[in-house]
């Protein structure tokens, strides 16, 4: 019998049973099928005693395995996922294989044994990705002692259990066990990608009680544990980390393009003393010609004292939504004056309140979080998950946003798994109401799935100033990239303690290749101002920050790519070189985009080993080719960064500027590293508003033909602001002779560089 046409949409139950028993499942006893199997709107429903299992189409990339007791499974409402209304348009077929029934979509096949509960996942080519395993307890009644749903995921017993993208719970890219949760700078998510060729995201009935998994001792399976009476696994056949990143982003939401200034250097600290101190610091940056785009302020911007020692009921007169006039006697005027000099304002926020009267009102309305915590100040936490509270919070933000605040720094929100999500939802609502059309940017100490779609970034919390912390940072950031958070950073220099001039210099150099470059320190530590660490460190740090600014056209274009595809800016080598086993757990060097590889010094002494994957490479800014698939030792002076470019790359660089408001600031330098044909699309927009979502973008696609030595380009899109590059400086790093030329960057053009 031929495979039936795709079943799409809703059927009446009688038609479904007839279709399932007589047409879709040849060889299956119709009476048995009618007893425990039926079709529904999105797939198949199978009964096992009190349990019901659904195999459903979710997105073009994902299938859904759901389990529920007593009630039919459903799309569980969750903050993790983007809008899934398109599930109704995903075509699917009922299939039967080897005694199993299931559904097939363009993504793959999900099948289950209707008698035993064994299930399996296959890709679109029919290859087994998840060997048969079972859902635990399907034939057992739930009870007070049995409140979890267990779903076992089969594994190839000849391969060790190893997955990627759970978050930063361990000090490696490959992970074999994890416990989901958030804490200070730690975000471990109910997600992973397996080299077997699939990604998975788990959803529970309560987002604040996320599922977690543990590998079996014999290595034959791992077990997801779901608290409650409902469970969902979103299964995404994905042959590579790139495929997984794209599928997960379409499931949980694509990250919007951040404001352009966030790609510059951001100076944060706890301990800004007064207005004169702020303005003297800004003058130092400008006099010493150290580029900077934002000052990030701790408690002191809105209160004279931290709130850690406030009583549980708060104190009279505490200004939760006010200003510390010692620093900001004229908030709107000062913020505008600093912005005229290229420096934006980002202020810290806490998930709690300190004003006694406000707290009494919050508790009377039931808007407090009502969670016990060892830290007494968390007794004043608010419940951002309550929509009425979010509406109140939006109103309280009006004066702050009207004064010109450009971004929020959200701290200590790990009391629940979703606090940061709903907190950002309130901040997004406030910005949309009082500054419509502006891009939201927030920096959060952890994140849950889906937070990236709101315009959020994350940082790794209160780390200590040490070489160990520096060495561990890239691994954490790469794990976060793979877990769906493309914009992340750390406290460069460490939150506590004082780095040596060498350590701070190397940390700044590594930060050039983080998605966000931000330094920070606690109040008792020496501020991470570059001029406080001696002339050699000052020179090295200035040079590093200047390189960061030159890379902004490249990074900003990658951000548009991330918005379109979900592939992060900062990538482990495994993402670009999946067939090289030496990249499987390599995280002390990494890719920015697909062409630039950073291998900064992460230990004292200026030496390290660098591994170049197969192919030809160039040292950045050099026309001397390097052979790949080998490791070698390098020694770098304090102002040197080991940095490499793949042959067959086009790298757009801007001029050295003091802040992003000075763009374009000169010609666009287009560096061509030959050896293969190459393309690169430069994205330009206003850098501030959401107009890019309406098509207000200029896209210039550069194409390099290696055999002929010809560079061509073509621009499209209506954006034509004053910050668009008007001229082009082309540098060809030909091994025989470096070639340079300049021209006007018209809407289209061609250069023959080897004639």
What are the pLDDT digits (tens) for 436-465?
A: 999 999 999 999 999 999 999 999 999 999
- Domain boundaries of the chain, sorted by first residue: 13-252, 273-533, 571-645, 649-752
Among 30-44, 177-191, 209-223, 627-641, top mean pLDDT goes to 627-641
Residue 736 pLDDT level (bands cut at 50, 70, 90): very high
pLDDT of residue 23: 26
Tell me how far CA of residue 498 lies from CA of 208, 462, 528, in angstroms: 37, 13, 9
Q: What is the mean pLDDT of the chain?
A: 92
| Domain 649-752: CATH class, spelled out | mainly beta
Average pLDDT over residues 612-620: 98
The 3-class SS string of 571-589 reads: ECHHHHCCCCHHHCCCCCC
pLDDT of residue 694: 97
pLDDT of residue 217: 87
Is it true that 13-252 and 649-752 share their CATH fold? yes
Is the pLDDT score of 345 beyond 70? Answer: yes
pLDDT of residue 27: 29
Tell me how far CA of residue 548 lies from CA of 122, 598, 704, 712, in angstroms: 44, 12, 25, 27
E strands in 554-709? 570-571, 590-592, 596-598, 607-612, 616-619, 625-627, 630-635, 643-646, 649-653, 668-673, 678-684, 698-705
Lookup result for tokens 């309140």: 353
Q: How many CB atoms lie within 10 A of CB 720?
A: 11
Is the pLDDT score of 194 beyond 90? Answer: yes
Element (H, E) at 37: strand 37-39
What are the pLDDT digits (tens) for 283-310?
A: 999 999 999 999 999 999 999 999 999 9
pLDDT of residue 250: 95
Is the pLDDT score of 496 beyond 70? Answer: yes
Element (H, E) at 102: strand 100-104
Cα(351)–Cα(749) distance, rounded to whole angstroms? 53
Q: How many CB atoms lie within 10 A of CB 609?
A: 12
pLDDT of residue 144: 58
What are the pLDDT digits (tens) for 100-131?
A: 999 999 999 999 999 999 999 999 999 999 99
Residue 79 DSSP class: S
User: Domain 571-645, what architecture?
Assistant: Sandwich (2.60)
What are the pLDDT digits (tens) for 693-722?
A: 999 999 999 999 999 999 999 999 999 999
- Tell me if residue 297 falls in helix, strand or coil: strand
Residue 356 pLDDT level (bands cut at 50, 70, 90): very high
Is the pLDDT score of 316 beyond 60? Answer: yes
The tokens of 475 are what?
């691994």
The tokens of 379 are what?
């007794």
pTM of the model: 0.94
* Best CA proximity match to 346, nearest among 429, 257, 239, 264: 264
- Tell me if residue 695 falls in helix, strand or coil: coil
Is the pLDDT score of 95 beyond 50? Answer: yes
Residue 525 pLDDT level (bands cut at 50, 70, 90): very high
Lookup result for tokens 């070189």: 577
Is the pLDDT score of 10 beyond 60? Answer: no
Cα(207)–Cα(422) distance, rounded to whole angstroms? 12
* Best CA proximity match to 231, nearest among 71, 379, 61: 71
- Helix axis angle, 275-287 to 331-340, nearest 10°: 0
Percent of the chain at pLDDT > 90 equals 86
Tell me how far CA of residue 551 lies from CA of 259, 314, 593, 726, 731, in angstroms: 15, 46, 12, 17, 15
The tokens of 540 are what?
């090295």
Cα(529)–Cα(365) distance, rounded to whole angstroms? 45
* Residue 420 CB contacts under 8 Å (≥ 6 apart), including other chains: 182, 410, 413, 444, 445, 446, 447, 448, 451, 456
Q: How many CB atoms lie within 10 A of CB 377?
A: 18
Phi, psi of 212 (to 5 degrees): -140, 165
What are the pLDDT digits (tens) for 561-597?
A: 999 999 999 999 999 999 999 999 999 999 999 999 9
| Domain 13-252: CATH class, spelled out | mainly beta
* Residue 80 CB contacts under 8 Å (≥ 6 apart), including other chains: 201, 203, 207, 252, 448, 449, 450
pLDDT of residue 143: 56
Is the pLDDT score of 655 beyond 80? Answer: yes
The tokens of 541 are what?
């740090």
| Domain 273-533: CATH class, spelled out | alpha beta
Among the residue ranges 149-153, 232-236, 398-402, the one predicted with the least confidence is 149-153
Cα(216)–Cα(223) distance, rounded to whole angstroms? 7
Element (H, E) at 48: strand 43-48
The tokens of 598 are what?
């950073």
pLDDT of residue 166: 94
Among the residue ranges 63-77, 255-269, 629-643, the one predicted with the least confidence is 63-77
Sheet holding 119-123, edge to edge: 93-97, 100-104, 108-112, 119-123, 128-133
Tell me how far CA of residue 741 lies from CA of 360, 711, 721, 735, in angstroms: 69, 12, 25, 17
């Amino acid at each position: 019998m031929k495979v039936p046409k795709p079943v799409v949409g809703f059927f009446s139950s009688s038609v479904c049973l007839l279709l399932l028993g007589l047409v879709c499942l040849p060889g299956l006893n119709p009476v048995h099928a009618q007893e425990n199997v039926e079709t529904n709107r999105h797939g198949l429903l199978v009964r096992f005693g009190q349990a019901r299992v659904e195999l459903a189409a979710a997105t073009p990339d994902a299938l859904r395995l759901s389990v529920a007791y007593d009630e039919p499974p459903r799309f569980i409402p969750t903050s993790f996922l983007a809008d899934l209304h398109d599930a109704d348009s995903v075509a699917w077929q009922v299939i039967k294989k080897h005694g199993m029934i299931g559904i097939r979509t363009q993504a793959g096949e999900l099948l289950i044994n209707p008698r035993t509960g064994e299930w399996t996942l296959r890709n679109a080519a029919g290859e087994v990705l998840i060997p048969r395993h079972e859902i635990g307890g399907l034939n057992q009644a739930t009870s007070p002692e049995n409140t979890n749903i267990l779903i076992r995921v089969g594994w190839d017993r000849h391969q060790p259990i190893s997955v990627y993208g759970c978050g930063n719970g361990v000090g490696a890219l490959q992970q074999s066990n994890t416990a989901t949760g958030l804490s200070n700078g730690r975000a471990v998510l109910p997600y992973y990608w397996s080299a077997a060729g699939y990604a998975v995201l788990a959803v529970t009935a309560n987002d604040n009680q996320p599922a977690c998994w543990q590998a079996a001792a014999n290595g034959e399976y791992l077990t997801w544990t779901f608290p409650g009476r409902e469970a969902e696994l979103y299964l995404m056949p994905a042959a590579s980390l790139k495929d997984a990143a794209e599928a997960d982003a379409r499931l949980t939401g694509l990250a919007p393009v951040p404001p352009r200034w966030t790609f510059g250097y951001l100076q944060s600290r706890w301990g800004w003393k007064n207005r004169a101190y702020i303005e003297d610091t800004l003058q130092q940056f400008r006099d010493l010609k150290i580029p900077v785009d934002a000052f990030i302020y701790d408690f002191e911007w809105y209160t004279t004292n931290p709130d850690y020692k406030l009583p549980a009921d708060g104190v009279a007169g505490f200004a939760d939504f006010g200003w510390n006039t010692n620093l900001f006697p004229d908030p709107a005027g000062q913020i505008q004056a600093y912005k005229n000099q290229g420096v934006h304002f980002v202020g810290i926020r806490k998930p709690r309140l300190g004003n006694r009267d406000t707290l009494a009102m919050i508790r009377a309305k039931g808007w407090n979080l009502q969670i016990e915590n060892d830290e007494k100040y968390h007794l004043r936490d608010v419940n951002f998950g309550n929509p009425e509270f979010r509406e109140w919070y939006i109103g309280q933000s009006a004066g702050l946003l009207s004064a010109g605040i450009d971004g929020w720094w959200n701290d200590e929100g790990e009391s629940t798994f979703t606090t940061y999500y709903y907190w950002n939802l309130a901040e997004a609502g406030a910005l949309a109401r009082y500054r419509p059309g502006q891009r939201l940017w927030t920096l959060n100490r952890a994140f849950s799935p889906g937070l990236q779609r709101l315009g959020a970034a994350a940082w790794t919390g209160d780390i200590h100033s040490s070489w160990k912390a520096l060495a561990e940072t890239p691994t954490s950031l790469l794990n976060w990239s793979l877990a769906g958070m493309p914009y992340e950073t750390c406290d460069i220099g460490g939150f506590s303690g004082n780095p040596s001039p060498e350590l701070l210099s190397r940390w700044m150099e590594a930060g050039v290749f983080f998605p966000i470059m931000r330094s920070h320190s606690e109040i008792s530590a020496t501020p991470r101002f570059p001029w406080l660490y001696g002339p050699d460190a000052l020179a090295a740090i200035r040079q590093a920050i200047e390189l960061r600014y030159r890379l902004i056209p490249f990074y900003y274009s990658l951000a548009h790519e991330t918005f379109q595809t979900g592939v992060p800016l900062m990538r482990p080598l495994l993402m670009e070189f999946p067939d090289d086993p030496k990249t499987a757990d390599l995280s002390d060097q990494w890719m920015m985009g697909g062409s630039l590889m950073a291998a900064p010094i992460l230990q004292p002494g200026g030496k390290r080993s660098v591994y170049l994957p197969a192919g030809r490479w160039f040292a950045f800014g050099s026309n001397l080719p390097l052979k790949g698939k080998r490791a070698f030792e390098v020694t770098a002076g304090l102002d040197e960064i080991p940095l490499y470019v793949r042959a067959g790359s086009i790298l757009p660089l801007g001029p050295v500027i003091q802040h992003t408001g000075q763009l374009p600031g000169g010609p666009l330098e287009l560096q061509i590293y030959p050896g293969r044909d190459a393309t690169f699309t430069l994205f330009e927009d206003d850098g501030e508003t959401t107009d890019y979502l309406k098509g207000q973008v200029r896209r210039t696609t550069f194409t390099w033909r290696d055999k002929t030595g010809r560079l061509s380009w073509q621009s499209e899109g209506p954006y034509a602001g004053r910050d668009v590059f008007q001229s082009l400086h082309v540098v060809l790093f030909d091994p025989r002779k470096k070639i340079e030329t300049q021209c006007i960057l018209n809407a289209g053009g061609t250069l023959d560089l080897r004639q």
